[in-house]
Chain A
């Protein structure tokens, strides 16, 4: 199982039955493929839809049904579509139970950076900042280290922040941390990964939960 699949599978364990969820692009969206049987979530798309379905076949598509990535979707029974101002009433107003967003960096104060690498990569924040502030629970998902092995779970983010002090849970390919008032708590480790390995690969300080578990994937 590759790094991305581990993260996507672990994200899918976060969802509670009936929850309203907004998934960021990349690994969070992939997670929709691994939602455990018996769990039904209401997916929200920030361009203006609730309870949408997967891609249609060509010919069964509508030019007026797409997700926030511009991809065709279906609108099954029970779904709804609305304008962008209303969509962000849902997001900012606290009507989304959880959001899972990719991140470039996170830190021990629950800060998250995911919209800008100055001078290199400036796509914009899209709806990310609104989700980070408005969703009831914010989960950040990212590779634990960069390609050179440097920790992306930091003492303090170095990149421009997307929001301050909002992340409640961090999911990486080797660990799951909860962000508590007094710092990070390691609550899960990936199969075959020791606490020592996680310590060696993490810049942020953390405590180890007495009930630490192995990730369910």
Chain B
């Protein structure tokens, strides 16, 4: 059963040089409060596994970790939105392992699902082959990639019940459900913690057996306001 913990207790689960998966896509569906905490505590030399880098322009969500130079290695599909990470990559102070996006998420799925490899045609004839083995099945060429796992996955859902069942909304699901299957320790940041039974069985996006810890994040109202300001500042709303 999942345990509800405070942010300070999250600190006992994290350390320098750890391999950590962080859910979210350009900040949407990202565990913003735990990321703030990681930035404040200055964990160093992290291997950060995230599908893409921060919200465009940097400094938001995981962009706070790269701005603080806390990341030694980044595994994902795209870094172009985060100027700090691009600069550190160009200077050679951060290692980046680029994966095609579908291969990235499938490697994590394989890690969580007990599969031996991801076999995909994507990346054939490109530099991506350097991180893969070329294989032939049923007369066709593919690339085989290793599964991907982490010590800790920090995921974000809208609600958790006290068993750890998670409920997601909209496109905030993104990498969270898959990452929740592929780490030794899974921490879920949520807007709201509800009683068991308040999330209907078919609305459970991640069953509680995958979730070790639940931590209260920003409320839904606070997040709406936060993204309202972010998108307004970047002129993303319909006038």
**Interface residue ranges, A against B (CB under 8 Å):** 45-49, 54-59, 61-73, 75, 81-85, 88, 91-92, 116, 119, 122-130, 132-134, 160-165
Contact, CB under 8 Å: B175 / A84: yes
Alpha-carbon distance between A30 and B174 when the two chains are bound, in angstroms:
24
Contact, CB under 8 Å: B171 / A124: no
For B11, list chain A residues within 8 Å (CB).
Answer: none
Chain B residue at minimal CB-CB distance from A118 = B127
Contact, CB under 8 Å: B232 / A58: yes
List the one stretch of B71-79, B132-140, B146-154 in contact with chain A: B71-79
User: What DSSP secondary structure best describes chain A's contact surface?
Assistant: loop
Alpha-carbon distance between A50 and B77 when the two chains are bound, in angstroms:
21
Contact, CB under 8 Å: B29 / A64: yes
For A47, list chain B residues within 8 Å (CB).
Answer: 25-26, 28, 171, 174
Chain B residue at minimal CB-CB distance from A65 = B170
| A-facing residues in B197-223 (Cβ within 8 Å) | 205, 220, 223
Given A88-B102, A129-B126, output 16 extra A-B contacts at Cβ < 8 Å.
A48-B173, A54-B238, A58-B231, A61-B224, A63-B226, A66-B171, A81-B173, A88-B101, A88-B105, A124-B76, A125-B128, A126-B52, A130-B103, A130-B122, A163-B122, A164-B124
Alpha-carbon distance between A122 and B80 when the two chains are bound, in angstroms:
7
Contact, CB under 8 Å: B101 / A70: no
For B51, list chain A residues within 8 Å (CB).
Answer: 84
Alpha-carbon distance between A77 and B168 when the two chains are bound, in angstroms:
19
Contact, CB under 8 Å: A55 / B236: yes
User: What DSSP secondary structure best describes chain B's contact surface?
Assistant: mixed
Chain B residue at minimal CB-CB distance from A56 = B238
Contact, CB under 8 Å: B122 / A92: yes
Can you spell out 6 A-B residue pairs with CB atoms less than 8 angstroms apart?
A: A58-B232, A64-B28, A70-B27, A84-B101, A130-B122, A164-B125
Alpha-carbon distance between A64 and B172 when the two chains are bound, in angstroms:
5
Contact, CB under 8 Å: B86 / A56: no
For B47, list chain A residues within 8 Å (CB).
Answer: none
For B90, list chain A residues within 8 Å (CB).
Answer: 119, 122
B178 CB-CB contact with A under 8 Å: yes
B19 CB-CB contact with A under 8 Å: no
- Which of B28, B100, B173 has the most chain A CB atoms closer than 10 A to its own CB? B100
User: How many Å from the CB of A61 to the closest CB on chain B?
Assistant: 6
For B178, list chain A residues within 8 Å (CB).
Answer: 83-85
Chain B residue at minimal CB-CB distance from A121 = B80
Contact digits for B97-129, partner A, Cβ 8 Å, 1 yes 0 no? 010111101100100000000001111111110
For B169, list chain A residues within 8 Å (CB).
Answer: 62, 64, 81
Alpha-carbon distance between A162 and B220 when the two chains are bound, in angstroms:
39
User: How many Å from the CB of B161 to the closest CB on chain A?
Assistant: 18
Chain A residue at minimal CB-CB distance from B125 = A164
Alpha-carbon distance between A56 and B169 when the two chains are bound, in angstroms:
17
The contact of A64 among B101, B105, B109, B171, by CB within 8 Å, is: B171
Contact, CB under 8 Å: A72 / B231: yes
For A128, list chain B residues within 8 Å (CB).
Answer: 100
Alpha-carbon distance between A116 and B123 when the two chains are bound, in angstroms:
14
Contact, CB under 8 Å: B174 / A91: no
For B239, list chain A residues within 8 Å (CB).
Answer: 57
B176 CB-CB contact with A under 8 Å: yes
For B227, list chain A residues within 8 Å (CB).
Answer: 61, 63, 72
The contact of B78 among A49, A56, A84, A125, by CB within 8 Å, is: A125
Q: A59-B228, A84-B175, A126-B77 are in contact. Are A163 and B126 (CB under 8 A)?
A: yes
For A134, list chain B residues within 8 Å (CB).
Answer: 102, 122
Chain A residue at minimal CB-CB distance from B173 = A83
User: How many Å from the CB of B77 to the closest CB on chain A?
Assistant: 5
